[in-house]
Structure 1
Amino acid sequence: MFSLSKSLAPLRHKNYRMLFIAFVISMLGDGVWLVALPWVAMELGGNSSDLAMVVGAEAVGLISCVLIGGALADRYPRKAVIGWSYVAALAALATLAVIHVTGQLQIWQLVGAALVLGAAAAISGPASDAFTPDLLPEKDLHAANALESIVRSLAVRMVGPALGGLLISLVDSFSIIVLNAVSFGIAAACIATITPLPSSAGQAGADGAEDAEGTPVPYREALRYLFNERWLWVLIVWSGLVLLLQSGPRQILLPFVIHNDLNGGPRDYGMLIATTGIAAVVASFLIGSRKLPRDYPRWMLLAWTAGAAPLALMVFVPSFWILLPMGAMYGFFSTVGNVYWSTLVQTSVPNAVRGRVISIDWLGSLALVPLSAVLAGVSTNHTFVVWLFVLGGVLPVLLTLFTLRWVDLRVLRTDASPEEAVQPAAAELAPATQPLP
């Protein structure tokens, strides 16, 4: 049964509430910037190639700095890592605004700012995910991840782009740059008010993440821990392979399928994206208000698979309206899997390596998306496109069957107390903290 009080329980904690407000503001800023950026580039006389350079620069910043972000989150106070990454984004946008006032703003400067913004996101993202368990009791982590999923769906897919479209029609590009800079400033101010409790596991909120003896864990030992935990690296590889199979067909080929095969247009594609976002919000509300299932790691993998499978049928549908329930299915079940995954990592990975594990997970997601786009653009042959959709929907199912057979997710004790639940992971880290031979 739906319980609003359970869904909002994490916001009772002042420290997490400030982190959440910063997250909301930054997500809204991202949604606005996503829509406004092409118009800013066009005002500077840029073409599609120039815009591609700007977007590509942000992706380069993300991919090149995400592992650094994880290392910083485990080595230094996570509050400081998040706060200073917001300040860096603020500085980049403020510099753009100043140059804009002088009338000297050029595309290459926009590219440089995009690179900084991507790097800032790569550093703040893993740190924020790793910081959440330092600010909340374990029983509220599931609801917190669901809340953040709701905000991400609303801000990036709906409210943010709609607000960006409205603002760009009412004000000039200078105002958009300033507003985005202000959003990062407010987010940084929110982070500055957080006062992590001294009892936070590993003192990550105050002193950086350390092992049981108070020694920072080297990156190579974090990698050793990761590869010693079969369930962890297998699921990271699983999700990376599924993104490789699915992101290109969904983001690049599906609009052409709607246009060429179903006689649809931009409004139809927008309706499909909105349907996906609404289903994601509904899923987040539902699972955030319910107690975690005892075997939720298994349900997580099955939910991801249920969200991926409809892609195999999308290229065969006779009507656009049949795509809508398929999009809703993807939005609903992929969100369920993502929320469960965040909770699983936050509760099962030791604090001393949590930031780096999260950053490796991010890298696995980010690095393969451009390759998926390349595969989607290899050929416009209809048979090739059909096979990409079919394989994108069928192979995740086969990967899931293999994973369930090879990895026993039941070993993750999700019915234990918070102390007992963390104990196995901490014990696994102990041998890895010894010097390498």
Structure 2
Amino acid sequence: MTTVADVPLARNRNFTLLWVGQGAAEVGFSASMLAFPLVVLAVTGSAAASGLVLAADAVAQAVLALPGGALVDRWDRRRIMLACEVAQAVALASLVAALLLDGVSLLHLAVVAAVLGGCRALFEPAEDALLPSLVPESRLATAVATNSARSSIGQMAGTALGGVLFGVARWAPFLLDLVTHVVAFVMLAFLRAPTRPPAESPALGREIAEGLRWLWQRGEIRVTTACAVALNLFFAAYYLVVVVLAERQGTPAGEIGVMAAMLGVGGVVGAMMAPWLHRRLSPHAAIAGVFWALAALCPLAVLADSGYLLGALFAAMALLAPTANTTIITHQLLLTPDALRGRLSGTLNVAMGGAAAAGPALGGVLAEAATPTAAVLVCAAGMTVAAIAVTVNRTLRYYPREESQCATTSPTES
């Protein structure tokens, strides 16, 4: 593995190029995701069609996640990222042109959404796998936390800009997304990453199975993945239930918007705290802490009588998650051989995508089957059970800090 100079991230040219480029792309992506259902509603008047377009994005990402991770381990990662930026820019350019000419169709919108989702299925594992070669091990945890902050900032800024730009013109949010992908491509073009020698190319299915087998044999990865799935499942359900609770209490739409934005604010502050907390907390405390914080804070939603208070609650709930993510992701990247990091990320994306889809469905069932207060308490009970399981789990109690060196074993070694 090529040695990376141990300099602060702000002076790490490659990391800065990646962070700036992808920070811009996060803004554009969030603007497009806000605009897609609004455009579909304007064109078709159908809420079901809006869901279909967003589903095309999610399904493409889910279907390609496992093969995408395997391809990332087979091909040059920087070139994959460059190709994804080009594909997304071309798709968005076609959509902007169609909207300007008033000739957009539902099929066109769905195809563009599927291209964006499919590109993320390749890009995200490629970026995750490339990161350890851009920063030294001693600064990997800080880099992971900084990327978490980037995502939260991009989501907040992109959502706000998307709403404003859609009010100007239907095509404007997608033009912003197009421009940000061009910026990201330029940043990546100047990035210098280690080249990877051509790897043997067995059948893709065999590569996927090999990666899944290796990951399953690592108890730390199995357990922390289960933790992340549980956390995302219950919180996604809880979020929908709280939105329903706020709406039934007569909370104005503006306050609900502030409530949602405060979740991002908490994520940014938490990401800024994460490197400091990561150094001071044991891995078990960092992981269990976020579960107990959510279990304790969840029931307070029934006492909040305004969107602003619910927003403050959301911000508090988001504070510790970046620390747990930093602890888990840093260790997973260092534990996993470079030749398997793409498959690690692809597999985790499948698991997280399933939780992200099942969580709102669970929340919707709870909101329909019980009163909002009862639904909140059910979510809190589920989080408490998960917190207890995390606390007593032997693997997590002895979860190690980062390895001193990156894993160098071959994919077939156990």
Taking structure 2 as the reference length, what is the TM-score of the superposition?
A: 0.88
What is the DSSP-based 3-state SS (H/G/I as helix, E as strand, rest coil) of the residue aligned with 1:395? helix
What is the DSSP-based 3-state SS (H/G/I as helix, E as strand, rest coil) of the residue aligned with 1:44? helix
Q: Does structure 1 conserve the Cα–Cα contact (< 8 Å) formed by 2:292 and 2:387?
A: no
What is the DSSP-based 3-state SS (H/G/I as helix, E as strand, rest coil) of the residue aligned with 1:206? coil
Deviations 1:83-129 (A, max 9, x none): 11111111211222333454421122101111111111121112111
Q: In the TM superposition, what is the alpha-carbon distance from 1:386 to its structure 2 partner? A: 4.1
Matched, 1:146 2:145: yes
Q: In the TM superposition, what is the alpha-carbon distance from 1:329 to its structure 2 partner? A: 2.0
Alignment correspondent of 1:179: 176
**Structure 2 unmatched runs, 5+:** 1-6, 201-205
- Counterpart residue identity of residue 126, structure 2: A
Alignment correspondent of 2:186: 189
Distance 2:171 2:253 in 1: 28
Distance 1:90 1:30 in 2: 11
Q: In the TM superposition, what is the alpha-carbon distance from 1:382 to its structure 2 partner? A: 6.3
What is the DSSP-based 3-state SS (H/G/I as helix, E as strand, rest coil) of the residue aligned with 1:264? coil
Q: Does structure 2 conserve the Cα–Cα contact (< 8 Å) formed by 1:307 and 1:331?
A: no
- Counterpart residue identity of residue 98, structure 2: I
Alignment correspondent of 1:63: 62
Q: Does structure 2 conserve the Cα–Cα contact (< 8 Å) formed by 1:99 and 1:105?
A: yes
Matched, 1:222 2:211: yes
Q: In the TM superposition, what is the alpha-carbon distance from 1:354 to its structure 2 partner? A: 1.3
Is 267-276 or 381-390 further displaced after alignment? 381-390
**Structure 1 unmatched runs, 5+:** 1-7, 198-204, 211-216, 433-437
Matched, 1:302 2:292: no
Q: Does structure 2 conserve the Cα–Cα contact (< 8 Å) formed by 1:18 and 1:191?
A: yes
Q: Does structure 2 conserve the Cα–Cα contact (< 8 Å) formed by 1:317 and 1:323?
A: no
Distance 2:188 2:199 in 1: 18
Alignment correspondent of 1:3: none
Is 324-333 or 34-43 further displaced after alignment? 34-43
Q: Does structure 1 conserve the Cα–Cα contact (< 8 Å) formed by 2:223 and 2:395?
A: no
Q: In the TM superposition, what is the alpha-carbon distance from 1:236 to its structure 2 partner? A: 0.6
Question: 1:120-131 to 2 correspondence within 5 Å?
Answer: 120-131=119-130
Q: Does structure 2 conserve the Cα–Cα contact (< 8 Å) formed by 1:28 and 1:155?
A: yes
Matched, 1:254 2:242: yes
Report the CA distance shift for 1:101/1:272 in structure 2 as closer, same or farther (over 3 A): closer
Alignment correspondent of 1:165: 163
Distance 2:82 2:313 in 1: 39
What is the DSSP-based 3-state SS (H/G/I as helix, E as strand, rest coil) of the residue aligned with 1:309? helix
Distance 1:410 1:26 in 2: 38
Q: In the TM superposition, what is the alpha-carbon distance from 1:353 to its structure 2 partner? A: 1.0
Question: 1:412-427 to 2 correspondence within 5 Å?
Answer: 412-414=399-401, 418-419=404-405, 422-423=406-407, 426-427=408-409
Q: In the TM superposition, what is the alpha-carbon distance from 1:427 to its structure 2 partner? A: 4.8
Q: Does structure 2 conserve the Cα–Cα contact (< 8 Å) formed by 1:297 and 1:344?
A: no
Question: 1:22-421 to 2 correspondence within 5 Å?
Answer: 22-156=21-155, 158-170=156-168, 172-197=169-194, 205-207=195-197, 218-250=207-239, 252-261=240-249, 263-288=250-275, 290=276, 292-293=278-279, 296-310=282-296, 312-320=298-306, 322-378=309-365, 380-381=367-368, 383=370, 385-409=372-396, 411-414=398-401, 418-419=404-405
Deviations 1:156-183 (A, max 9, x none): 0x2112222222233x223433332222
Distance 1:130 1:307 in 2: 31
Distance 1:246 1:404 in 2: 18
Q: In the TM superposition, what is the alpha-carbon distance from 1:313 to its structure 2 partner? A: 0.2
Deviations 1:373-405 (A, max 9, x none): 222233645636544432322333333433443
Deviations 1:329-367 (A, max 9, x none): 211012222222222222222212111111111111111
Alignment correspondent of 1:20: 19
Distance 2:321 2:333 in 1: 18
Distance 2:130 2:45 in 1: 39
What is the DSSP-based 3-state SS (H/G/I as helix, E as strand, rest coil) of the residue aligned with 2:279? coil
Alignment correspondent of 2:203: none
What is the DSSP-based 3-state SS (H/G/I as helix, E as strand, rest coil) of the residue aligned with 1:356? helix
Distance 1:292 1:273 in 2: 26
Distance 1:349 1:173 in 2: 44
Q: Does structure 1 conserve the Cα–Cα contact (< 8 Å) formed by 2:330 and 2:402?
A: no
Alignment correspondent of 2:9: 10
What is the DSSP-based 3-state SS (H/G/I as helix, E as strand, rest coil) of the residue aligned with 2:302? coil
What is the DSSP-based 3-state SS (H/G/I as helix, E as strand, rest coil) of the residue aligned with 1:431? coil
- Counterpart residue identity of residue 82, structure 1: M
Report the CA distance shift for 1:410/1:311 in structure 2 as closer, same or farther (over 3 A): closer
Deviations 1:53-87 (A, max 9, x none): 11111111121111122112211111011111111
- Counterpart residue identity of residue 161, structure 2: L
Percent identity reads 22
Q: State the aligned residue count.
A: 402
- Counterpart residue identity of residue 245, structure 1: F
Distance 1:49 1:415 in 2: 46
Q: In the TM superposition, what is the alpha-carbon distance from 1:310 to its structure 2 partner? A: 4.2
Report the CA distance shift for 1:77/1:299 in structure 2 as closer, same or farther (over 3 A): farther
Distance 1:411 1:429 in 2: 24
Is 129-138 or 158-167 further displaced after alignment? 158-167
Q: Does structure 1 conserve the Cα–Cα contact (< 8 Å) formed by 2:284 and 2:398?
A: no
What is the aligned-residue RMSD (CA, Å)?
2.6
Q: In the TM superposition, what is the alpha-carbon distance from 1:299 to its structure 2 partner? A: 2.6
Report the CA distance shift for 1:294/1:75 in structure 2 as closer, same or farther (over 3 A): farther
Report the CA distance shift for 1:52/1:311 in structure 2 as closer, same or farther (over 3 A): farther
What is the DSSP-based 3-state SS (H/G/I as helix, E as strand, rest coil) of the residue aligned with 1:81? helix
Distance 1:186 1:307 in 2: 38
Alignment correspondent of 1:213: none
Report the CA distance shift for 1:208/1:249 in structure 2 as closer, same or farther (over 3 A): farther
